[in-house]
Structure 1
Amino acid sequence: MSHQHRYPPFESDFCADLECCGSGYKTMWRNTLGMEGKRAKSIIENDNPLVTALIIHKGHAVLDDFCCNRVWIFINEHGKVASVPMVG
């Protein structure tokens, strides 16, 4: 069982890639492309209870640190997921 906490605070446990952070849970959500951001957030947090999914408009600035318990959900002007959400 992982000792990770939900974001925030930042947590990487010295990981620098998706596989290291997985802890047996899903780390990438291709199936959410094009769906409503709030629905994607619900799916992501259900699939991986160690992460907090944050919805942000594509093109807005985000932290570029790698974080095992955070998923950025980039949405377009219509509120739809615009790129594949993943841990980091």
Structure 2
Amino acid sequence: MMSNENKSWPEFVGKDADEVKSQLTAEGYQVEIKPEGAPTTRDFRLNRVRLFVDDNNAIVKEPRTG
């Protein structure tokens, strides 16, 4: 279940983004998959996780809420 604190998942770096998205969505997070270096908005939301991926859909940056 989702908490009210900033959270990160370093263990997901290198994993397939679609699999991680399924897991985090089941935990109640809104997940966005974005290409590495893609622009993002500056608003902060504890229920959102962005997954930055390479050309192989592997996560390249530690996912975190925000």
Q: Shared topology, TM-score over 0.5?
A: yes
State the AA in 1 paired with 2:53: I
Alignment equivalent of 2:17, drawn from 37, 57, 60: 37
TM-score by length of 1: 0.64
Which amino acid in 1 is paired with 2:12? T
Identity over aligned residues, as a percent?
22
Unaligned residue ranges in structure 1 (runs of 5+): 3-19
What's the counterpart of residue 71 of structure 1?
49
- Tell me which of the two structures has the higher relative contact order, counting C-alpha pairs closer than 8 angstroms and 6 or more residues apart: 2
How many matched pairs?
A: 65
Which structure dedicates a bigger proportion of its chain to strand?
Answer: 2
